[in-house]
């Protein structure tokens, strides 16, 4: 199946190269397909040296780095937009005024490949549910099931190279990627919406919007996961999200709607991941797998063998009797609360919490109250969010991950839990959440090795 002919000779501007491999992979695919590619990024060539080096061999790739130029957004066939670029960007406005279509890689793959998509979104839980579904499908079919969307290091356009006639793709879709589904006016055949909470307010409140206006915009982006479904499609969500969808007039008619709670998972079902919220995640995954005709026996066997997802209440073992959990991907206070409730108890305050980071305009006072119930010690990494939280709790503030881990373990006793669950974004001390994740794991592994 040769999808490259769809891109041959097309003039495509790639806006946002990045350092995580996704933008590079997309640009390489387009270059190898014979497109005329302009790569533009506000970061300098020096900052992007590793990514730029991978594209230097392609004569049909040109670079505009350290800036964007309006001329790169006109007289083009498409603009491929990286996640997180504000839709109000003058360059995207210029492209739309020039009649140039905007594309986002996950939606572009879905649109061109026509591969059936199980798409998963939600403020929290989408990564866990995505990987649960992908794991069970892989176990049951024994075939390669495509995995894409917001997955570390995965270029969505490179997935074209793996498509077969009977392919199925599971995609984790964040709100930015779902903007692309809105641009293309498509939705996945099976749409999963786990929950909806305050997040990304720093992005959606840009331009002086109120919190209420920002939340409506945020939900509108998320709603693209089901907004364009047809009558043969399935929309799986919770009653709370469905009520929000109806309130904001974002529900289409025709598709099957399945409302989920954790009661569909038997009390004696084996699940590797702790926490009531993961029972709900498993319930949502179960309904998505039922929607594509898997039987109960296969689903529950697959869920029982699901090992969990890195950075999401990931158990890293014990050090001197202290259990270590990596919950790096908890980037809002509500997610850290769920982590505390999953691994801690209030009777003896057994949790040593490492938290803190960059502020996302989300009030952390509820986290402060819960932390007081569960934590014997709180260690905070420096950041604008930490500056807000530390006024509410008794905590030790440190300047590096290594200091945080050592400070946490120094007060640990057998039976305690060291929980790394930031509750805030990674920016400031770290380039991104992946660097933060890797730094925590490195520090734990080094201490474990020394032991």
Same domain, 30 and 151: no
Maximum CA extent, the chain: 66
Number of domains in the chain: 3
Same domain, 281 and 404: no
Which of 271, 304, 337 is the endpoint of a domain? 304
50 within domain boundaries:
yes
Which of 263, 279, 304 is the endpoint of a domain? 304
408 within domain boundaries:
yes
201 within domain boundaries:
yes
Which of 73, 103, 133 is the endpoint of a domain? 103
CATH number at residue 31: 3.40.50.720
309 within domain boundaries:
no
pTM, entire model: 0.82
Contacts 24+ apart (CB under 8 A), 93-97: 94/70, 95/13
Same domain, 398 and 430: yes
Q: What is the mean pLDDT of each run of 10 residues along the chain (451 residues)?
A: 94 90 93 98 93 95 97 98 88 97 97 97 92 94 92 92 95 95 96 89 81 88 93 94 79 82 84 76 96 94 86 90 94 93 90 95 94 96 95 95 96 95 92 91 83 52
Same domain, 363 and 429: yes
Same domain, 263 and 387: no
Give the per-residue pLDDT at 251.
59
Same domain, 88 and 178: no
Same domain, 333 and 249: no
Quick check: 105 and 155 in contact, CB under 8 A?
yes
Give the per-residue pLDDT at 248.
67
Model confidence over 59-105: pLDDT tens digits? 999 999 999 999 999 999 999 999 888 888 999 999 999 999 999 99
Measured in degrees and rounded to the nearest 5, phi and psi for residue 158 equal: -65, -20
Give the per-residue pLDDT at 83.
84
Contacts 24+ apart (CB under 8 A), 308-314: 308/128, 308/272, 308/273, 309/127, 309/128, 309/131, 310/437, 311/433, 311/437, 312/127, 312/128, 312/273, 313/273, 313/274, 313/275, 313/278, 313/339, 313/342, 313/343
Model confidence over 285-324: pLDDT tens digits? 999 999 999 999 999 999 988 878 888 888 899 999 999 9
33 within domain boundaries:
yes
Host domain of residue 408? 314-450
Same domain, 198 and 299: yes
Give the closest residue to 17 by CA, choosing from 94, 84, 117, 88.
84
Same domain, 142 and 231: yes
Same domain, 99 and 121: no
CATH number at residue 353: 3.90.190.20
CA 123 to chain centre: 9
CATH number at residue 241: 3.40.1190.10
Same domain, 262 and 290: yes
What residues have CB less than 8 Å from 59, skipping those under 6 apart?
none
Residue carrying the six token digits 């790569």: 39
Give the per-residue pLDDT at 450.
60
Same domain, 17 and 116: no
The CB density around residue 69, as the number of other CB atoms within 10 Å, is 12
59 within domain boundaries:
yes
Give the per-residue pLDDT at 340.
95
Quick check: 108 and 81 in contact, CB under 8 A?
no
Contacts 24+ apart (CB under 8 A), 237-246: 237/192, 237/193, 237/194, 238/193, 238/194, 238/195, 238/280, 238/284, 240/195, 240/196, 241/122, 241/193, 241/194, 241/195, 241/196, 244/196, 244/219, 245/193, 245/219
Model confidence over 218-228: pLDDT tens digits? 899 999 999 99
2 within domain boundaries:
no
């Amino acid at each position: 199946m040769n999808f490259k002919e769809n891109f041959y000779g097309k003039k495509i501007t790639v806006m946002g190269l990045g350092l995580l491999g996704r933008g590079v992979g997309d640009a390489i695919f387009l270059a190898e397909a014979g497109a005329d590619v302009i790569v533009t990024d506000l970061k300098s060539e020096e900052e992007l040296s590793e990514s730029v080096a991978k594209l230097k061999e392609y004569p049909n790739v040109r670079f505009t780095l350290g800036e964007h130029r309006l001329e790169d957004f006109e007289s083009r066939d498409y603009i491929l937009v990286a996640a997180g670029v504000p839709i109000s960007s003058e360059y995207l406005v210029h492209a739309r005024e020039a009649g140039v279509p905007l594309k986002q890689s996950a939606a572009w793959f879905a649109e061109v490949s026509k591969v059936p998509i199980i798409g998963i979104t939600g403020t929290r839980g989408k990564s866990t549910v995505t990987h649960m579904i992908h794991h069970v499908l892989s176990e049951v079919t024994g075939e390669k099931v495509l995995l894409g969307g917001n997955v570390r290091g995965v270029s969505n356009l490179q997935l074209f190279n793996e498509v077969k006639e009977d392919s199925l793709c599971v995609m984790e879709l964040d709100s930015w990627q779902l903007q692309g589904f809105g641009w293309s006016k498509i939705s996945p055949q099976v749409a999963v919406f786990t929950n909806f909470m305050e997040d990304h307010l720093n992005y959606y409140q840009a331009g002086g919007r109120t919190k209420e206006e920002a939340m409506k915009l945020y939900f509108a982006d998320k709603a693209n996961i089901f907004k364009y479904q047809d009558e043969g499609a399935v929309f799986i969500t919770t009653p709370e999200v469905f009520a929000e969808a109806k309130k904001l007039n974002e529900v289409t008619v025709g598709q099957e709607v399945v409302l989920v709670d954790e009661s569909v998972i038997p009390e004696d079902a084996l699940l590797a991941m702790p926490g009531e919220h993961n029972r709900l995640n498993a319930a949502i995954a179960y309904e998505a797998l039922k929607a594509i005709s898997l039987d109960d026996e296969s689903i529950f066997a697959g869920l029982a063998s699901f090992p969990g997802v890195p950075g999401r209440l990931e158990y890293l073992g014990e050090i001197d009797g202290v259990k270590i959990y990596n919950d790096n991907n908890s980037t809002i206070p509500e997610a850290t609360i769920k982590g505390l409730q999953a691994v801690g108890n209030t009777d003896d305050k057994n949790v040593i919490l490492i938290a803190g980071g960059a502020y996302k305009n989300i009030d952390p006072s509820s986290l402060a109250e819960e932390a007081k119930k569960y934590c014997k010690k709180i260690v905070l990494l420096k950041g604008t969010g930490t500056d807000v939280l530390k006024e509410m709790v008794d905590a030790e503030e440190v300047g590096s991950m290594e200091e945080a881990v050592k400070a946490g373990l120094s007060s640990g006793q057998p039976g305690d839990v060291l929980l790394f669950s930031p509750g805030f974004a990674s920016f400031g001390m770290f380039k991104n959440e992946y660097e933060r994740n890797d730094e925590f794991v490195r520090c734990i592994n080094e201490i474990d090795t020394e032991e």
